[in-house]
Structure 1
């Protein structure tokens, strides 16, 4: 009897274990069958539209998926040639360095990745980069404006129409306050379809996009009540599919940096940095934030009279000294229907083409200058590398700075070269529409140099730095 009971007990245990395993497999199968999301590809290098001077760039990317990656599915193509067998492949990344220099010109890369779900969800990413010295054009626009705060709100179509046809801007961004958008509490950084206003903005943006002519941009501004949290401030985020707002949990400054750092394609801008709006914990450095925060607004306002607008060039210097790798922008932060018309404030992007990918690549790489003069053109290089570059272990530093303004009433009066702690290492006076400054110095490590151009009528322009490592 005891023996029979023991056998029965053992059989019962086996049946129980088998049922649990079967249920687990069924649940896993159900999960995999329901999974329709393809893998995420990120951290691509060279990035979209990036200009490469070297002929043997390391081509790499990372990928991830909750169900895991099917390594046998991975394929990398370069100029339509399958180079997968020449790549180094791991469970979360792929890399390839050409054995010979690539020909000068455009290179097209394509990566294919499938997950391990039963659906074998597939992600394909195709992008291009260029080998050879790029030729940059200067595109002018604004990266901070609002419709939601207008006394009499207009349609997004109207704002883009004004920017394109009345102001003749090359690009123009509408960056609504995320707290003011409907259902923003139910949105996330990847998906804001719950917000009808956000969906309307995206629809209008796509409608007005004309590559080579006008690039409308969209973004959101996350804002904190300065009385409740003076350490934060206002930040614009571009190139996101969704949005977040300060009303959501876990949105302190460090949490926000961590969130955006997980999305490699995002571009961040510190808006109106000052005591009244917030100083981002006095620009305490964050390596997570530094990856995404590429821009800082040094000028803001939509008043006709220059002195009634805001300048934040002191905050720009503080942020650079704290270690941030940022470029300056100058925007109107429009609260009226005077987009681009209000004054001459402009953000200028150096880009090879007028399309969204090229502009975002330039913003990521800080090829940007800020100006209070809509006509001025500034070129700045060290060792033939453009503003925004990071130079490692140079043997010498050859500066080349040119400022041109074809408006005869605007005279360039001074060019300053400014370094760490606000030190002016070079200054030359002018009284002309044309100004050029070339000189050489010995390199010092952990230095940065940016340019300040001063004109009559108290107009100033600031460039992105070039960093020496």
Structure 2
């Protein structure tokens, strides 16, 4: 950590990025980890560390800090799971599921065989890894010293029949890929360590465990539902659950176990649930859940339900069930902020309006105070009438086998059509890399972006097929929408831009668009988007008023790994940098699916507010910046600033800003605990609206600036939401607070192209070489673009081979 270097008061740490050393705000990743080695006269032997025939090892990856585990369920492009591991004293200790391999030699080639699953293999054009029982040339690997470890090159997997494919760790899993223009050596670096684990079954680390997750509080007199999973590589054979020695009935569905503790048993200060059993190899497991019990009023059974609409009924009965309130509790209700004469009887509080309620979103708060002073409050909102605009949840960045994804577009469309309601997916965008839609040496000219008759015959056919499948899907489905776009990818260059709603397609195979000298290629693409024909597209670094009107979105999170774990890469601070630079963009949080599970690989969602649930309706809402991102799959956010909705731009600085925020989450386990305005915390009272009054310090000042709020992020005290306002942290219950903050005006907004941008660098005066992981920019009228992010600096959008392909 530098003693003197600071940015905005934050300490700067030494890092390595893009093969250079510099200082930057420290993050929890390998760029900031350094080892100190003592220099000696000893020279390494050429074969040091290579395994020998008959040896048993686990295969450890330097980037993953984990080892090869079981095969996933993808049949089209299989990959291998990762099991976390630690290395000490020359041996590795792996998490459950890590595999131990015995080394065989086939001439100059190595083979790695696991007692249970068989030989480690890859084949075809690469982009796969799998196990098979019988040895073949697919099981042959070449090892070569590299980056302090070894690369593993497949014998048979070749891209285009000639480009070697190497085992790599990517997006939380292992498969083969080309080593062209490598920017992160660690993902290809493997080590061979003896296994320190003692709990092995058939060469598999077999230590089954019960995973309860976050335990919510129980309430006296209320039944309690507990869900949990069992991490058992070989499956569960027998399971038993008990409460204080009394057996509890337990059900299982899709690997999730559920048990219910009767209301009569919920008493005292805590509940102790013990889960025990054995896996199919007779290995035992046991775990205990200690659940705190609260003795306070409980409010449930809300009507109208949170988030619902009353339709023609403008005088709905508003009620809530109340339990554990004791004798003669004080029960109060407010509707739209005004106290009403509600009736409390037989454990239910009820209010029936005598006059029609005002149409639109209405919030209700019920407060219960027991005779002993213990109180509880519950706030929810619903729409009187039919909502003009509704929130739709989905994803705006994914891949199929049209480029480097796992699974065909047909498979992907069928997958999203059959997602369960619990996934909460209303739309998914497919944005395959554009350099797969034409060829090196036969690239589309720039004009093909707007006129596909200028494109090569190969590109015309492939693009028409791709867009046709999306259109056919949307013509036959009304509950989920597919969006078809492309990712303009510069491997080893300035970043990536997802683009939608253009008639045609171009790629980096075009030499003009791929010129990396001073980012000339990206500037050429910006120029292309700036043409009048680009006014309908939706598509970040070099700020320009016209380009600002074409690019709308920036990624603040990327990856299909679980939130908070490997394979998911948040970059919230880069959104603030984009706003500081002057961009008018909204945040997105995308899975960038390469392994299937389109839409529901994790709980990250993009949320669009619109009154037109159609492909063009979603595009228009993106142009209007009616978008927020969340790490919670169903967190609903509505907010206004001086009465203006999400995405609005205030052209003239007002005397004050009044923020009204309503947040709801149907999950009982989610709770909002903190709201933060700016960089100063504001504690809220549960059960109240959030209302922030902000006053400008420089009301006459005009320059590109920023204003907004953020909910959630990764603040451990907050919920999981990032919205298009700046520093508002929250969770599930509502709260209220007030804070003063400067108002800074922004540049002009225009409608236009939709673009989503993955930009590695944000350059400009006062912002020198700050990584930008995602942002929304705007163009005049119709097409759409999104700058996509490079996931903590790992340039994962690489060539499959020279002049071919690319992530």
- TM-score for the superposition, normalised by structure 1: 0.61
Question: Does the C-alpha gap of structure 1 residues 136 and 320 become closer, same or farther in structure 2, counting only changes over 3 Å?
Answer: same
- Contact 2:449 2:502 (8 Å CA) reproduced: yes
Cα-to-partner distance string for 1:358-397 (whole Å, 9 max, x where unaligned) = 2111101111000110110111211111122111223431
- Counterpart check, 1:173 vs 2:410: no
Q: Which residue of 2 aligns with 1:254?
A: 523
Say which of 455, 458, 473 aligns to 1:208. Answer: 473
- Contact 2:449 2:503 (8 Å CA) reproduced: yes
Question: Does the C-alpha gap of structure 1 residues 347 and 261 become closer, same or farther in structure 2, counting only changes over 3 Å?
Answer: same
Q: Which residue of 2 aligns with 1:221?
A: 487
Question: Does the C-alpha gap of structure 1 residues 191 and 435 become closer, same or farther in structure 2, counting only changes over 3 Å?
Answer: farther
Say which of 225, 231, 238 aligns to 2:500. Answer: 238
- Contact 1:295 1:327 (8 Å CA) reproduced: yes
- Counterpart check, 1:410 vs 2:670: yes
Cα-to-partner distance string for 1:155-174 (whole Å, 9 max, x where unaligned) = 31221221232145211110
Counterparts of 2:629 and 2:583, CA distance in 1: 17
Higher helix share: 1
Matches within 5 A, 1:321-336: 321-336=580-595
For residue 512 of structure 2, give the secondary structure of its aligned residue in structure 1: coil
Counterparts of 1:435 and 1:395, CA distance in 2: 25
Q: Which residue of 2 aligns with 1:362?
A: 621
Q: Which residue of 2 aligns with 1:22?
A: none
Question: Does the C-alpha gap of structure 1 residues 151 and 326 become closer, same or farther in structure 2, counting only changes over 3 Å?
Answer: closer
- Contact 2:399 2:406 (8 Å CA) reproduced: no
- Contact 1:387 1:463 (8 Å CA) reproduced: no
For residue 491 of structure 2, give the secondary structure of its aligned residue in structure 1: coil
Matches within 5 A, 1:44-443: 135-148=388-401, 153-166=406-419, 167-183=423-439, 185-186=443-444, 188-192=448-452, 194=457, 195=459, 196-209=461-474, 212-226=478-492, 229=493, 232-251=494-513, 252-262=521-531, 263-268=534-539, 283-308=541-566, 309-393=568-652, 394-418=654-678, 424=679, 427-429=681-683, 436-443=689-696
Counterparts of 1:435 and 1:298, CA distance in 2: 29
Counterparts of 1:297 and 1:431, CA distance in 2: 32
**What runs of 5+ residues in structure 2 fail to find an aligned partner?**
1-386, 514-520, 727-743, 747-807
Question: Does the C-alpha gap of structure 1 residues 430 and 197 become closer, same or farther in structure 2, counting only changes over 3 Å?
Answer: farther
Counterparts of 1:151 and 1:225, CA distance in 2: 14
319-328 vs 178-187, which deviates more? 178-187
Matches within 5 A, 1:23-62: none
Counterparts of 2:573 and 2:397, CA distance in 1: 20
Cα-to-partner distance string for 1:257-280 (whole Å, 9 max, x where unaligned) = 111111101111x6xxxxxxxxxx
Counterparts of 2:563 and 2:589, CA distance in 1: 15
Cα-to-partner distance string for 1:34-77 (whole Å, 9 max, x where unaligned) = xxxxxxxxxxxxxxxxxxxxxxxxxxxxxxxxxxxxxxxxxxxx
Q: Which residue of 2 aligns with 1:3?
A: none
Question: Does the C-alpha gap of structure 1 residues 458 and 163 become closer, same or farther in structure 2, counting only changes over 3 Å?
Answer: farther
- Contact 2:711 2:718 (8 Å CA) reproduced: no
Counterparts of 2:745 and 2:661, CA distance in 1: 17
Counterparts of 1:284 and 1:431, CA distance in 2: 43
Counterparts of 2:486 and 2:388, CA distance in 1: 31
**What runs of 5+ residues in structure 1 fail to find an aligned partner?**
1-133, 271-282, 419-423
Counterparts of 2:574 and 2:486, CA distance in 1: 22
Question: Does the C-alpha gap of structure 1 residues 457 and 219 become closer, same or farther in structure 2, counting only changes over 3 Å?
Answer: farther
Question: Does the C-alpha gap of structure 1 residues 449 and 416 become closer, same or farther in structure 2, counting only changes over 3 Å?
Answer: farther
In the alignment of these two chains, the number of paired residues is 313
- Contact 1:139 1:349 (8 Å CA) reproduced: yes
Q: Which has the larger radius of gyration?
A: 2
Counterparts of 1:318 and 1:248, CA distance in 2: 31
For residue 397 of structure 2, give the secondary structure of its aligned residue in structure 1: coil
Question: Does the C-alpha gap of structure 1 residues 372 and 452 become closer, same or farther in structure 2, counting only changes over 3 Å?
Answer: same
Quote the offset at 1:413 in angstroms: 2.4
Question: Does the C-alpha gap of structure 1 residues 223 and 439 become closer, same or farther in structure 2, counting only changes over 3 Å?
Answer: same
Quote the offset at 1:456 in angstroms: 5.9
Counterparts of 1:354 and 1:171, CA distance in 2: 9
For residue 681 of structure 2, give the secondary structure of its aligned residue in structure 1: strand
Question: Does the C-alpha gap of structure 1 residues 289 and 161 become closer, same or farther in structure 2, counting only changes over 3 Å?
Answer: same
